[in-house]
Amino acid sequence: MTAKQGIQPQDLYHLKSVSDPQLSPDGTEIVYIATSMDEKKNDYVSHLYYLNLQDKQPQQWTFGEAKTSAPQWSPDGSKIAFVSTRTGKPQIFVLAKAGGEAKQVTHCKNGATSPVWSPCGKKIAFSLKLGQEDSIYAQPEEPTTGDKELKPLEVNDMKYKSDAGGLLDMEQFTHIAVVYLETGELEQLTAGSHHFHLGAWSPNGQYLAYTADLAEDPDLSFTNDLYLLDVATKQSRQLTAGIGMFYQISWSPNSRFLTFLGSRREFQNATQAKLWLYDVAQQQLICATSDFDAHIGDCMIGDFLQGVVAPRVQWLADNESFYFQVTDQGSTAIYFGNLAGELYPAILDDQYVYGFSLDAKRDKAIVAISTPTNPGDLFYINLQTGEKEQLTAVNQEFLQTRALAVPEAIEFKGAEGWRVHGWMMKPIDYQEGNKYPLILEIHGGPHAMYGNSYFNEFQILAAQGFVVLYTNPRGSHGYGQTFVDAVRGDYGGNDYRDLMAAVDYALAHVDFIDQVRLGVTGGSYGGFMTNWIVGHTKRFKAAVTQRSIANWISFYGVSDIGYYFTDWQIFAGLEDIDKLWHHSPLKYVNNIETPLLILHAENDYRCPIEQAEQLFIALKQRKKETKFIRFPASNHELSRSGKPSLRIQRLTYIRDWFKDYL
């Protein structure tokens, strides 16, 4: 009998994601999104699925080659609104549960997203982008043949590009509107030269909550305030007076309390998010997790799941209690909280909870869960007893033909004796008595977290015969505010020592690692750290740096976040070139002896490709062993949401570089 092989790069085409589960108002049915990859079209396809909790048989409700997202039940449970690209631009459609064709209810020039039902079920609020001269009734332009007219981009602001959006149309702004379903009439609720982000409609129908940064100089502002718009009077009032960054709004059933996440940014972008309440009756802002030293929300980093939507705080019908997501110790959990101040975990296992939808009357939930050996499925969980029933098994048939590595958790002392957490995977073909090469993986962020979730790249390396070591050094979320803040101003210091301590621990405690054949790789901050490591030690025999940072001085002006990120993270701007250069891996290029593969995307605006170009040219000029791979039509998210064929080629390059040199 032939042994099962491990995961291969091409297997990406066979794996599916399920995400964004939404429970019906009566708690008996769910809709969710399933995403797969179309090999012929080299793109993603996502569809709406339905499941009744009595027969538990998934049914596909949308078809074709479009992308579907953001499903939302109507208040009476008779319809589902969703976003689809079937007509080109994303638009909002409404589908009756009883059957029939979905009806397109928006025809906006630049698309429409984020549908939010009114409590009466007769209107849907949504988000759209409008130019200064655009009418809300302007419809998408017909595709033209031939060359598109080239126009220069006039730039007056520093925030003129983003990795997600590319070069931005500085005359377009995100606004909030409403469509009346019976007539198709549209009503614009916000206007002006700022971006407004739709939140949630109060259950009594009186208010729409939204967030916005209305600072006079958005280039130097990093707040996002909470506002209430009175639907009848169209008047807005500000609830948070420029004190922080807030998002993910939800309401208590009686419309008295708003719940949302965010922080006062005491540690800039290293600040753990808190759970906040606003008492509308008392006009009082309350931090519900002020003494809770964990990040509220999701900081898990991965390379597989598609369509994940961060779950909002969700209330029970008693108007006193709620559930919310927490990042903690390599897992994401669901916690219970109430107005009396109680906080405790309802779901806290070694896993990644990446979505949930609450049955407010029965204290049950549909929960999306990933583990290291299951990319992701939906489960029906009793939040009081923990009783769990699996509802989907979207990858089970394929994974039965593959062998998966099971990580083992480790804990060791890092720099200054701090406790550091991580994992090791044995090779798929592990046999006692043999020696295997080890690869150290370093996550990006740096304020993110590796954890108890499926990671495709790790499985591919384990299938090739490598031991995979991945850890959460200081700077990572999941281990308290002091830990996550400790990397700022110290890039390449104690974070580097934490990572070297991880390798030392592995070599000292695992007898099947070949201590000579060591590799290292990482992306973004992990790419910076890979560059730093090979410039400061010769213990690694091969390295792959991905979407990396090599020179903080040039990064300041070319990254979409550079002009403030260096101040926040390196504690230096252009007034302190010496400190920026001290923390730049390029400074240490003469020390690099490790064969280095450089992977970078052409359209990466977060860590622009000039960072890779500088490093490559410096290495080649010094006759160092290196190769530079440039991925077209891709941004910083290549490894997670890039074109499927390019993602597969990226994985192949990484695997083969380590195979050749280790």
Please give the positions annotated as active site: 524, 636
Host H or E run for residue 616: helix 610-621
- Burial zone of 411 (CB within 10 Å; 0-12 exposed, 13-18 middle, 19+ buried): exposed
Interhelix angle 456-463/644-661, nearest 10 degrees = 40
Of 335, 336, 375, nearest to 352 by C-alpha is 375
What is d(CA 312, CA 626) in angstroms, rounded to the nearest whole number?
Answer: 45
What is d(CA 561, CA 606) in angstroms, rounded to the nearest whole number?
Answer: 7
Do 228 and 211 meet the contact criterion of CB atoms below 8 Å apart? no
Do 367 and 355 meet the contact criterion of CB atoms below 8 Å apart? yes
What is d(CA 410, CA 636) in angstroms, rounded to the nearest whole number?
Answer: 30
What is d(CA 437, CA 447) in angstroms, rounded to the nearest whole number?
Answer: 28
What is residue 515's three-state secondary structure? strand
CB atoms < 10 A from the CB of 443, how many? 26
Do 277 and 257 meet the contact criterion of CB atoms below 8 Å apart? yes
> Which residue type is seen at 325?
Q
Which residues, listed in sequence order, are joined to residue 323 by a DSSP beta bridge?
314, 336
Two tokens at 232? 């009848």
> Which residue type is seen at 172?
Q
State the DSSP string of 139-207. -PPPP--SPPPP-PPP--SS--EETTTEE--TTEEEEEEEEETTT--EEE---SSS-EEEEEE-TTSSE
Give the DSSP letter of residue 444. S
What is d(CA 115, CA 46) in angstroms, rounded to the nearest whole number?
Answer: 17
Q: Is 20 left (phi over 0), alpha (psi -120 to 50) or beta?
A: left
Of 198, 194, 147, 146, nearest to 172 by C-alpha is 194
What is d(CA 445, CA 357) in angstroms, rounded to the nearest whole number?
Answer: 28
- Burial zone of 324 (CB within 10 Å; 0-12 exposed, 13-18 middle, 19+ buried): buried
Show the CA angle centred on residue 30, arms to residues 328 and 644, nearest 5°: 65
Show the CA angle centred on residue 191, arms to residues 189 and 194, nearest 5°: 125
Q: How many CA atoms lie within 13 A of 342 on its CB side?
A: 11
Cα-to-chain-centroid distance, residue 649: 22
What is d(CA 140, CA 142) in angstroms, rounded to the nearest whole number?
Answer: 6
CB atoms < 10 A from the CB of 574, how many? 12
Do 155 and 136 meet the contact criterion of CB atoms below 8 Å apart? no
Host H or E run for residue 634: none
- Strand ranges for 195-340 from DSSP E: 196-201, 207-212, 225-230, 236-238, 245-251, 257-263, 274-279, 284-287, 295-296, 314-315, 321-328, 331-338
